[in-house]
Structure 1
Amino acid sequence: MKKSLKFVFFLSGIILFYLPLSAQTYRIEAGYLNQLRSGSGLSATYFDGAQVGVSADFALKNNFSYSVGGYYSFLYSFKEQLFPHDTYVRYTTYSHAVDIPVRLNYTLTIKKVKLFAYAGPNFNIGLYQPQKTVSTLTTELTQLVQEFQHVTIPQDTTHSELYNDNVLRRLNLQLGAGGGIQWRKYSLKSGYDFGILDLYKSKTESLHQSGWFVSFGYEF
């Protein structure tokens, strides 16, 4: 894993260093995100949200190009776990993050329409992730669930910040691929980013976050 991460960072650095510093085109983009956070011994958590930002394209040879973007992402999640005797644990989570995708693109032009595909890493940097937990479990049931699931479940209502409270790591490296279509200055694209890094600071469990997105863009 460490060797593959070093290769990704090394390749991204080489591309950034050798390509031209002046972009040929700029694009503003906005779209929808759907993220899945899952891991060994942990229940899955789904996030929905939006993303907005800008990207710059650098032309290469033979229909290839290179793009770098900067996006602000906002995600929301509500998860409810039900237990015996009408008890439950509810998690409400908000996520604020910055995404920096580095993509290699291939474009095929058919008359006035451009079809393109891309692949490359995405650097996701967590900014702020507050979570509200509401639990109606008894003390005995809380202890049983924690022993079985290897997680800490606070009783009653609690508020936490998952980065500052040392629950999650801020940096998530993802490898993504996707494609889209452009007509004149308008574009539509979609893709999926696979989470590579373990986000969970626990030494006994692992947690990865991956996601799908679709976005609209305007070239200027």
Structure 2
Amino acid sequence: MPQKTFYNCIYMKKSLKPVFILTGILYFYLPLSAQTYRIEAGYLNHVRSGSGLSSTYFDGAQVGVSSDFALKNNFSYSVGGYYSFLYSFKEQLFPHDTYVRYTTYSHSLDIPVRLNYTLTIKKVKLFAYAGPNFNIGLYQPQKTVSTLTPELTELVQEFQHVTIPLGTTHSELYNDNVLRRLNIQLGAGGGIQWRKYRLKSGYDFGLLDLYKSKTASLHQSGWFVSFGYEF
């Protein structure tokens, strides 16, 4: 196994530790009566933005499972586990037909913990939810292609607070100490359920600064829509 791949596997195992611990605590301490299980898949649209840095937009998909636990007065809480994949292509244009292009792939694990309120009208259920989401970064490779001259590179770096390598480079944003792996988000949304089929949408606001450099800040938030089947 190549050395870089070996170290990536070690980092991924370390990042999954808090995920398994948190999931175990939730399932052990919360009541296990009236469980409902659901498989879900959906579309993601995220933006990574902050002070001193230009915004980066991501599109992707998410798949996973969730469990609902009944409370009183139409309330319930849910815990889920989802694998999320995001893709971004970002191009910055500069004078003399020069550019910097970033191609980024993001692999992460999401653990949402939501409080739900459900209103039943005949065979249709309308619901709303709110609560935190714990996003754990697993692997985030990035390819950078720059045609800037060394002089222009220095000028751009001074104003954008980023390091722009010359030519074509490959990096891994977690292992290279660019981004933090943990992102805690606060989300809200709602949806509709008919029989065992559920359509859900919502938005998660990023609370933590993901950028490790002190020269700027970076937060990631996102919108999603998903389809679920209860079993």
* TM-score w.r.t. length of structure 2: 0.88
Pick one of 31, 39, 46 that aligns with 1:35: 46
User: Equivalent residue of 1:146, what SS?
Assistant: helix
Residue 206 (structure 1) shift: 0.5
C-alpha contact (below 8 Å) 1:12/1:102 kept by paired residues? no
C-alpha contact (below 8 Å) 2:59/2:88 kept by paired residues? yes
C-alpha contact (below 8 Å) 1:33/1:51 kept by paired residues? yes
C-alpha contact (below 8 Å) 1:8/1:121 kept by paired residues? no
Structure 2: gaps of 5 or more residues: 1-11
1:86-124: CA deviations, max 9, x gaps?
000000000000000000000000000000000000000
Closer/same/farther in 2, CA of residues 94 and 3 from structure 1, 3 Å limit: closer
Residue 9 (structure 1) shift: 15
Residue 203 (structure 1) shift: 1.0
Closer/same/farther in 2, CA of residues 3 and 59 from structure 1, 3 Å limit: farther
Query: Taking every aligned residue pair, what percent have the same amino acid on both sides?
Result: 91
Residue 74 (structure 1) shift: 0.2
Name the residue aligned to 1:49: 60
User: Aligned pairs, how many?
Assistant: 220
Residue 21 (structure 1) shift: 2.9
C-alpha contact (below 8 Å) 1:121/1:173 kept by paired residues? yes
C-alpha contact (below 8 Å) 1:23/1:56 kept by paired residues? no
Structure 1: gaps of 5 or more residues: none
* TM-score w.r.t. length of structure 1: 0.92
C-alpha contact (below 8 Å) 2:191/2:199 kept by paired residues? yes
1:153-182: CA deviations, max 9, x gaps?
001000000000000000000000000000
C-alpha contact (below 8 Å) 2:52/2:215 kept by paired residues? no
Q: Kindly report the root-mean-square deviation, in angstroms, between the aligned alpha carbons of the 2 structures.
A: 4.3
C-alpha contact (below 8 Å) 2:16/2:136 kept by paired residues? no
